[in-house]
Structure 1
Amino acid sequence: MAECFFALARLVVSHPPRLAIPAPGRLVPRSSLATILSAKMRVNSIQLALAGLAAVSNAVPVKQSVDTQKPITKLQLGPRPYWLVDSLEDSPLKTELEQCKEMEMKPTAWSIGHRGGGTMQIPEHSIESFLAGTRMGAGIQECDVAFTKDLELVCRHSHCDLHTTTNIVDIPELNAKCTTPFQPADPATGKTATAKCCTSDITIAEYKTLCAKMDGSNPNATTTAQYLKGTPTWRTDLYSNECAKVLTHKESIKLIDSLGLKFTPELKTPEVPMPFAGDYTQEKFAQQMIDEYKEAGIDPSRVYPQSFLYADILYWLKAEPEFAKQAVLLDESADAPGAFPGAVANLTRYAADGVPIIAPPLPYLVTVGKDDSGKEKLVPSIYATEAKRLGMKIIAWTAERSGWVGNAARSGDYYYATVANYTKKDGDVYQVLDVLGRDIGVLGVFSDWSATVTYYANCFGLFP
């Protein structure tokens, strides 16, 4: 490009267009006028070309970088929260929320970015999702932590989800390294397409060549390109056309720190036998995650380490007491039929062992009850009231992960399982958030679209 610029410049200097400009007041023949205008047009075209080439030759490709971010203080919630408020049936809650439509929104730790917080529309655990969630007010950001073949830590929701959250199957040399390389569907036999690609299948260098994409796959795919096209219809591929940048755990720390936010890394339960690669134990994995915050000079008060494995929480309580002051036990123990009473009973043991924060999914916390007149309404569950009685702090997951709320009952949605026959409109997410915020007093709520939770938190002054 530079060579083209200088060549054209030399041409103009050495062969300037010759314009025969008539004396003032003298008539110009039509043929001469055409010649003059043509010459002027050539001059203007050359000048424009030079200006354009100069601009291009000086341009620097813009890429998202963890090195160039600054705290985002001017939030942009977009239309969704306001649309959700309008969707609510007339009620005192709707009136309160409507009164907040013109207020200036601020970041809040009550709004926790789930896999970045832009996850509903932007590839999860990408720098783009982190920036979107932050611009929508998330005050805490999550990196789900998995390890690679060479024992480096990366941000992935599962150790083995690369085949649905990245383009790995479309890269032949990396697809070949997958636990289960892509196998096409066979329409004749009804066999569906399969693949299983884990972070532990590849090195950190190989991981960094991947592009994040919207989570999903096409079970009827006969090619890798078809397999990658499986985004649910209520999400979008609008922001997936370019290569969304995947992050290592260290990069996520650097990014979140530069944005001035808090951290909530989740130690993902391995899907390979442990110890891995000889002597890499679960304890070493748990310690490595904490060590990377120490190496970055992050104050423990800014970190909320999470895990579904109770042994991880107990390890941190003993080995890293400062970081464990905000340790989060993720609880899914009531998912099995009939297991809910046992999950409630387990809270007593967790509290006695010193677990400071319990984090169950939405259906563990909110259910349908009745007001004094006998009318149905959403209320805190027995699980929520028991956790509060024991003095445990509560974090809830995950808002905005269900698609159309009105379809929850028909689709068997997980997050609205206990209230699916009550919630009818998308705006009813604010009824759920109202129980979490006003009645239960949760510490924060994970969301796939941070703006929704940020709006509620700002409206009711929730800035933990």
Structure 2
Amino acid sequence: MTDSPLKTKLQSCENGPFSVTGFSIGHRGGGTLQIPEESMQSEQAGARMGAGILECDVSFTNDMQLVCRHSLCDLHTTTDILTRPALAAKCTVPFTPANATSPATAICCTSDITLAEYGTLCSKMDGFNASAKNPQDYQHGTPSFRADEYNTCATPLSLNQYIDLVDSFPGYRNFTPELKTPPSQVPMPFKGVYTQQQYARDIIEAFIKKGIDPARVWTQSFNPPDIFQWIKEYPAFGAQALYLDESGDDGPANFSAAVARLPSLKAQGVNLISPPINYLLTYCDATNRTIYPSSYATTAKAAGLDIVAWTFERSGPLYNVKNTGDYYYQSFNQAVNHDGQLYEILDILANQIGIKGIFTDWAATVSYFGNCFGLTGPVGGSYYKPGM
């Protein structure tokens, strides 16, 4: 980091004390820079690094059971399914080797297999080798800025296993399950009977059956009808649901519309908005590269919405952000050029905008910052008023 009051403040905290903080939200578990995502081991790593809220992205299996997987159709890149012939034969799109004109392809979905079959898989770092001639070679391809040292047979989790695991961690950890919208390969209603609405209910019912206090559960969805359904049917859960907003992608007009819609979302009962980092920050110009809060950030705060951002350390090294067009930095990529600025970005998000928490791929970084500044994260239960 460049010498600054922020650097001095962070250095002053090097000996702690440290505790669990809800400001640090373990993305796909919280250890995903080094450990296969959505696995037991990633959740354990996130917990050890102080994340107070741990994520499970929720997909469903062929027998309509709920599991932790970032996409319904990513098993071919996040598990060893293609090396299991009996299970690989069930994939939506079987493995096809690369040839002179086409890359290797496969599509394997959680909905292709049962919960019991899912539990036999090994989770691996997300990646694939597009030049592969066989399923074994297809397993490679971890991005260079993530590590393979722990890319062994990590343990996949069902939603129920995730709930039990997080509930067992010391320090009172909370939950953030994300309802994954099925891709086109998995038409809904699934098998003609399993609707999106029932899928949304099943996530909440899993926590109710486990006796988990709604104040500990921060449900998420990119699909507004899911959020409104939870607000109506499960108000104690819906009151602190995170609306994951990516409606401002793909151009200035969409971004302006996303900003304009924020007050109406609050009026419809949404209390927490969860946009990507790039929605919240902008910079002055090529001469003055000061980063400052965007119109989205200021409008959300003015509307009374609390903000939870995503995703910290999801990208590669910042020295090359100007040239890569990285999603998370696209609104201010000309103003960053080294990794020391990550804490500067976090400082603007936390101490100027006042975000309540941030999803992170390596929870220790955000946990350190949160402890140093006394940030506790969103307060469970404070969003729900009986009778609302």
TM-score, normalised with respect to structure 2:
0.94
Q: Which amino acid aligns with 1:255?
A: L
SS in 2 for 1:304: coil
Q: Which residue of 2 aligns with 1:244?
A: 154
Q: For CA contacts below 8 A with separation 6 or more, give which structure has more relative contact order.
A: 2
2:267 to 352, 357, 368: 352
Written as runs of structure 1 = structure 2, the 5 A alignment for 1:13-162 is 88-162=1-75
Written as runs of structure 1 = structure 2, the 5 A alignment for 1:445-464 is 445-464=358-377
Q: Which amino acid aligns with 2:350?
A: G
Cα distance, 1:308 vs. partner? 0.3
* 1:146-179 deviation per Cα after TM superposition (whole angstroms, max 9, x unaligned): 0000000000000100010000111111111000
SS in 2 for 1:192: coil
Q: Does the 8 A contact of 2:277 with 2:311 survive in 1?
A: yes
1:341 to 242, 256, 274: 256
Alignment partners' CA distance in 1, 2:80 and 2:179: 23
SS in 1 for 2:17: coil
Q: Unpaired segments of 5 or more residues in structure 1?
A: 1-87
Q: Which residue of 2 aligns with 1:205?
A: 116
Q: Which residue of 1 aligns with 2:82?
A: 169
Q: Which residue of 2 aligns with 1:361?
A: 276
SS in 2 for 1:112: strand
Alignment partners' CA distance in 1, 2:224 and 2:345: 28
SS in 2 for 1:218: coil
Alignment partners' CA distance in 2, 1:90 and 1:416: 23
Cα distance, 1:190 vs. partner? 2.4
Alignment partners' CA distance in 2, 1:276 and 1:191: 31
Cα distance, 1:126 vs. partner? 0.6
Alignment partners' CA distance in 1, 2:93 and 2:39: 24
Written as runs of structure 1 = structure 2, the 5 A alignment for 1:226-245 is 226-241=137-152, 243-245=153-155
Alignment partners' CA distance in 1, 2:235 and 2:289: 44
SS in 1 for 2:329: coil
Matched, 1:319 2:229: no
Alignment partners' CA distance in 2, 1:412 and 1:224: 31
Matched, 1:397 2:307: no
Which of the two has higher C-alpha Rg?
A: 1
Q: Which amino acid aligns with 2:281?
A: V
Q: Does the 8 A contact of 2:312 with 2:360 survive in 1?
A: yes
Q: Unpaired segments of 5 or more residues in structure 2?
A: 378-388
Alignment partners' CA distance in 2, 1:440 and 1:115: 25
Cα distance, 1:375 vs. partner? 4.4
Alignment partners' CA distance in 2, 1:368 and 1:105: 33
1:297 to 207, 211, 232: 211
SS in 2 for 1:394: strand
Alignment partners' CA distance in 1, 2:136 and 2:211: 42
Q: Which amino acid aligns with 1:165?
A: T
* 1:406-437 deviation per Cα after TM superposition (whole angstroms, max 9, x unaligned): 11111111111112111111121111110111
1:265 to 177, 190, 200: 177
Alignment partners' CA distance in 1, 2:341 and 2:78: 29
Q: Identity across aligned pairs (percent)? A: 53
Alignment partners' CA distance in 2, 1:346 and 1:216: 36
TM-score, normalised with respect to structure 1:
0.79
Q: Which residue of 2 aligns with 1:406?
A: 319
Alignment partners' CA distance in 1, 2:337 and 2:6: 16
Alignment partners' CA distance in 2, 1:146 and 1:111: 23
Alignment partners' CA distance in 2, 1:178 and 1:266: 24
Which portions of structure 1, spanning 4 or more consecutive aligned residues, are displaced by more than 2 angstroms? none
Q: Does the 8 A contact of 2:289 with 2:334 survive in 1?
A: no
Q: Which residue of 2 aligns with 1:309?
A: 223
Cα distance, 1:91 vs. partner? 1.7
Q: Which amino acid aligns with 2:221?
A: S
SS in 1 for 2:335: coil
Q: How many residues end up aligned between the 2 structures?
A: 371
